[in-house]
Amino acid sequence: MYKPYIATLRQRLQEHADPKTKNWWEGYVKQSAPFIGVKMPVIRSVLHAWHKDCVANHLDAAGQSELALALFYEEYAEEKLAGTLFLQEILLPTGAIECESGVDRFADLFDPGGIYDWNVCDWFCVKVLGPLIQAEGQRCARRIAEWHVAENLWQARASLVAFVKVADDSTYYPLVKESCRTLIRRQERFAKTAVGWILRDISKYDEGFVRSVIEDNIGHFSTESLRNATKYFGKDEKTAYTRMLRDV
């Protein structure tokens, strides 16, 4: 039932396709996903115009939510990014998305054909999951943090990247610590870099917490993830942790 809406959005996006932008996007994500070739500000403006012209007066809130989620299963990254912006900028402000049912539906987005690369995963985390945690607190945070045991790499990564938006709130650190312990033990690069990212942001507020996570798990860090985690540490401390990793 949503295909005509999606076809119209794709047509509008394709009207702005630029080969240089396509090449830049696909180079940026190391060819991990196909792009039409549309810059992010244009995706946003096209999305809002399409919503006003074709969606707002034709689908209720539930239908619009399903339409936004359906965009994640389309071929091009711009359509998935449009789905993210649809959730963030149109549906979340109206209260149409809530934790109880929303998180379960979001988990399904990591099924084959949905979220399968770091770019869309991270946009979704920062623009949708993070604000949802901010709005609904611990109950929602725990549901998302449970994803740290997911077999799917991107769902597991989301269990940490979603907390970047609340890196200043120590009430979430126990959840972050458990997720870090699990993801840093995975071999995939993007599991380990999720740990580096969240620890880097938390270090702006609580270096002691970051030190404890690093020291408890030092043997499982990659050089890259450790470098990210200690980005804001002093030179001598960075050197000490690098030596500690080397000597494990």
For 134-186, the pLDDT digits (tens) are: 999 999 999 999 999 999 999 999 999 999 999 999 999 999 999 999 999 99
Q: Does the structure show a pLDDT above 90 at 78?
A: yes
The answer to whether 233 touches 203, Cβ cutoff 8 Å, is: yes
The answer to whether 39 touches 81, Cβ cutoff 8 Å, is: no
Find the radius of gyration of the CA atoms of the chain: 19
Q: Tell me how far apart the alpha carbons of residues 186 and 184 are, in angstroms, rounded to a whole number.
A: 5
pLDDT in tens, 23-72: 999 999 999 999 999 999 999 999 999 999 999 999 999 999 999 999 99
Q: Residue ranges of the alpha helices (H) in the chain? A: 3-14, 19-28, 40-50, 61-70, 77-85, 99-108, 118-124, 130-136, 138-145, 153-161, 173-183, 189-202, 207-217, 223-229, 235-247
Q: Tell me how far apart the alpha carbons of residues 84 and 56 are, in angstroms, rounded to a whole number.
A: 17
Q: Does the structure show a pLDDT above 90 at 248?
A: no
Angle at 147 between CA 180 and CA 109, to 5 degrees: 130
Tokens for 113?
Answer: 């054909």
Is the pTM above the cut of 0.75? yes
The answer to whether 152 touches 178, Cβ cutoff 8 Å, is: no
Per-residue model confidence (pLDDT) at position 101: 80
Q: Does the structure show a pLDDT above 90 at 98?
A: no
- Beta carbons within 8 Å of 130's beta carbon, 6+ residues apart: 162, 163, 164, 165, 166
Tokens for 14?
Answer: 């394709």
- Beta carbons within 8 Å of 240's beta carbon, 6+ residues apart: none
Name which residue leads in pLDDT, 146 or 99.
146
Per-residue model confidence (pLDDT) at position 1: 85
**What DSSP letter does each residue of 122-162 carry, written as one string?**
HHHIIIIIHHHHHHHTHHHHHHHHGGGG-SSHHHHHHHHHG
Backbone phi, psi, residue 18, to 5°: -135, 125
Q: Does the structure show a pLDDT above 90 at 127?
A: yes
Q: Does the structure show a pLDDT above 90 at 120?
A: yes
Q: Tell me how far apart the alpha carbons of residues 15 and 73 are, in angstroms, rounded to a whole number.
A: 21
